[in-house]
Each structure stands twice: as C-alpha cells, then as structure tokens.
C-alpha cells in the first residue's frame, strides 16, 4: 500500500512537470516572435494584394471614363481637310451631290477621326501601358508600411506591372477577366530580426477588357465612316447616348464586367460634327418663275417641317411650290431646316431680286453646327392684267 502511494505521488509529479513544461514552451514561443513574424509577412502580402486590386480597379475606371485616352478631351473629332472628293468644308461637305453618287445613294465617306489608342503594346499611349503605368504609380502610395508599427519594417524597390489579357480574337469569346501581375522587390525585417524577401503579387479583375475595347473600336470605326450608321451593341451590353456641350457621349456598359459590383463603363466622347444636307435638285427649279406684285409683295419662302415651301402671289403653275428636304447627322442628333431670304425682313422675296441673279440659302442644323446649300431663283414682276 505504501508503495502504491509513492507511485501515485511520482505520477502526479510527472503530470505537473509535463503541464508546467507545456506552459513554459508556449510562453517561450510567444515571446520568441515567430508567430508574429509569420503574421507580419501575411499582413504585408495581404496589404499589397488588396492595394493591387484596388488601384487596378481605379485605373480601369479612370480609363473607362476617359474613353481609353490619357488626356484628350474628345475620342471622335470632326473631319479635317479633304480626302479625294470628300471634304470637311461646307457646303462641299461631305462630298458634292451628297448622298447621290453615280445614280445610287452613298453614305460611306469621311465623317470624322477616331483617336482611339491601340489596346496592346509598349507604346505610352496604348491602353495596356496606360493601365500598367497607372498601377505602378499608385501602388506605392497605397501600401502604407507605417501601419505595421514595430511589427516589421519594409524596404521597397521599384514596382513593375504586367497585364494578363486576351490577345487573340479566338480568346475573346471566353474572356472573363484580366490579371495584374506585380513584380515588386520587398525586403521585410520582422521585429525578431528575421529578413524575408518578397516580390510577386497578383490580382484578378472580372473585366472583359479586350472584348469591350474591340466592341468600342468597331462602333467608332463605323461611326466615322458611315453617316447612316446607327450605333448598336451585342446582347449583354448597354449603349446610352447623352448630349453635352459641343458634343455627345456614348456610354458603353458591359454587364459581364464588374468594378466593385458595378458594370464596367466606357465613355466614348464625340465632338459635334455637322449634319449633311441632302442635295436639293436644282433641275426642279429650272424655268420656274417666282413673282413680286406691283406693290412689292414677293413670294413667301418658308420651311414647314422637312419641306421648302414657296407661296407665289401670282403663280403660273402649281402653288405653293414644295421641295422635300432631308439630311443625315453623323452624331444622330435631331436636325432642323431653316431658310434664309437675303434682303428680306419677312421671308418674302424682295423687289431687289427682280431681274438679277438671286439665291436663297437652305440650312440643315443640329444644336451646334450646320450644312447649307444655295438655291438660285428666277424672280420677275407679276404681269399686269
């Protein structure tokens, strides 16, 4: 019995010693800082990864709002100069006889210039380089090493970002995201004196950048080359138009591309371009006489909707004389028609027009610009009966 008591005492002492050792080891490990070191490294990795995604989203948003441009105000500019018979100067704009060409209607031509930058490439103006440069310049300010206090110090090198993006047309259909690959040499010194090198980070952003870019490019290419083109987009995207001073915005939204749970949006800015007045056939006026009464009351010239109307005080044929008007606007703006009657304060042909070359001017106007055509009229006095 006495031996058993001694045995129990020894076992109890061993249990207490084991428990004491476990408590001591745990306390020593905590004081050694090894878990703290591991935690600091994880925190730094998480910080850089979060910053990379955050700055990447900011860069995509900024590029989208600027229409993939860096500084230019307008993505589509009015035509400048001439290309063959196609002219940017009214009334020759867009080409003589528009839209009639060789007996057919022709709406393709020179209606503007798209300054959309290339998507790929090392050039500073490419979308790829604009985005990676944005991230490289902003990631440094996002990563606040001071937030780690005494837990760790960080010595950072120069960040370099590479863009992972669909590059072949056959890959666009399956495109779901882009990847930002950050190479940023970091030397981390933990509170216990450990030195840990870090360098590679990545972020995946669910934006179909290549697909959206080429949809926008196709839209703009058609917009500047075909005045009859009505912008449209594939299913899953939304296109909204809004008027702004001196131009308009086309907002292209992709529901399959998200930035902070909001569809990725690209703003395509178009500086206003003049409407194009369809040629008024002068042959319909050949041999037609318009009159002034002896008391000086001339034919009344007006625009009614989309018709030029001349109401003659002493007609010698169909009266009023009506000519249909039409125009095309490359910005799809509403077009109104007006007519100017030189030498008149009341839109009637003036007495000064009798027996001399005389022209009225028909205008097609949008909210900013206009196209016009001068129309020659033969003006005579009414016969006295």
CB-CB neighbours of 374 under 10 Å: 12
Higher pLDDT, 297 or 384: 297
User: Could you tell me the sign of the dihedral formed by the alpha carbons of 205, 211, 212, 214, in that order?
Assistant: positive
**pLDDT above 60: residue 290:** yes
Mean of pLDDT values over 140-146: 92
| 339 close to 329: Cβ distance less than 8 angstroms | no
- Per residue in 42-98, pLDDT (tens digit) is 999 999 999 999 999 999 999 999 999 977 789 999 999 999 889 999 999 999 999
pLDDT of residue 351: 95
Strands (E), 245-293: 247-259, 262-271, 276-277, 289-292
* Six-digit token string for 287: 């041999």
Mean of pLDDT values over 147-169: 93
Phi, psi at residue 192, to the nearest 5°? -95, 10
**pLDDT above 50: residue 30:** no
- Per cent of the chain over pLDDT 90 is 79
**pLDDT above 60: residue 13:** no
Supply the DSSP symbol for 145.
G
**pLDDT above 90: residue 20:** no
**pLDDT above 70: residue 8:** no
Q: Which domains does the chain have, with CATH numbers?
A: 276-381 (2.60.40)
**pLDDT above 70: residue 31:** no
Mean of pLDDT values over 314-339: 95
pLDDT of residue 37: 61
pLDDT of residue 26: 32
Paired with 196 in beta bridges are 188
Paired with 243 in beta bridges are 248
Higher pLDDT, 313 or 151: 313
| Rounded Cα–Cα distance for residues 155 and 7 (Å) | 60
Q: How far is CA 264 from CA 76, 122, 177, 236, 237, in A?
A: 21, 24, 12, 12, 10
- Per residue in 352-375, pLDDT (tens digit) is 999 999 999 999 999 999 999 999
Mean of pLDDT values over 148-157: 90
Higher pLDDT, 34 or 178: 178
User: What does the buried/exposed string (b/e) look like for 196-219 if buried means 16 or more CB atoms within 10 Å of the residue's CB?
Assistant: bebeebebebebbbbbbbebbeeb
* Six-digit token string for 258: 């998200």
| Rounded Cα–Cα distance for residues 124 and 181 (Å) | 19
For residue 1, name the pLDDT band (cuts at 50, 70, 90): very low
| 361 close to 374: Cβ distance less than 8 angstroms | yes
C-beta pairs of 182-185 under 8 Å, 24+ apart in sequence: 182/48, 182/52, 182/135, 182/139, 183/159, 184/48, 184/139, 184/156, 184/157, 184/158, 184/159, 184/160, 185/156, 185/157, 185/158
| Cis bond upstream, residue 344 (ω within 30) | no
| 161 close to 135: Cβ distance less than 8 angstroms | yes
């Amino acid at each position: 019995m006495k031996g058993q008591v001694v045995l129990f005492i020894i076992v109890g002492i061993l249990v207490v010693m084991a428990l004491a050792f476990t408590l001591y080891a745990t306390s020593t490990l905590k004081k050694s800082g090894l878990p703290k070191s591991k935690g600091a490294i994880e925190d730094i990795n998480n910080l850089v990864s979060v910053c990379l995604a955050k700055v990447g989203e900011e860069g995509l948003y900024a590029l989208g709002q600027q229409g993939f441009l860096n500084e230019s105000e307008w993505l589509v500019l009015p035509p400048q100069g001439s290309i063959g018979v196609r002219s940017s100067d009214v009334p020759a704009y867009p080409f003589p006889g528009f839209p009639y060409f060789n007996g057919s209607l022709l709406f393709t031509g020179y209606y503007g210039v798209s300054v959309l930058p290339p998507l790929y490439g090392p050039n500073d103006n490419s979308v790829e380089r604009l985005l990676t440069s944005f991230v490289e310049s902003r990631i440094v300010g996002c990563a606040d090493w001071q937030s780690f206090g005494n837990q760790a110090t960080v010595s950072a090198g120069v960040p370099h970002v590479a863009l992972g993006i669909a590059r072949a047309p056959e890959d666009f259909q399956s495109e779901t995201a882009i990847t930002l690959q950050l190479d940023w040499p970091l030397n981390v010194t933990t509170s216990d004196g450990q030195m840990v090198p870090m360098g590679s980070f990545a972020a995946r952003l669910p934006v179909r950048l290549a697909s959206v870019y080429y949809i926008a490019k196709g839209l703009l290419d058609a917009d500047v080359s075909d005045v009859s083109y009505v912008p449209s987009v594939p299913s899953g995207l939304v296109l909204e138009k809004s008027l702004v001073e001196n131009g308009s915005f086309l907002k292209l939204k992709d529901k399959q591309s998200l930035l902070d749970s909001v569809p990725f949006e690209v703003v395509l800015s178009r500086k206003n371009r003049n409407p194009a007045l369809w040629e008024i056939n002068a042959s319909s006026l050949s041999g037609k006489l318009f009159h002034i009464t002896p008391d000086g009351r001339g034919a009344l010239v007006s625009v009614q909707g989309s018709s030029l109307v001349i109401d003659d005080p002493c007609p010698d044929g169909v009266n009023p004389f009506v000519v249909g008007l039409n125009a095309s606007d490359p910005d799809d703006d509403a077009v109104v028609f007006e007519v100017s009657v030189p030498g008149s304060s009341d839109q009637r042909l003036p007495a000064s027009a009798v027996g001399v070359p005389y022209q009225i001017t028909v205008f097609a106007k949008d909210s900013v610009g206009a196209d016009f055509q001068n129309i020659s009229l033969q003006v005579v006095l009414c016969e006295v009966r």
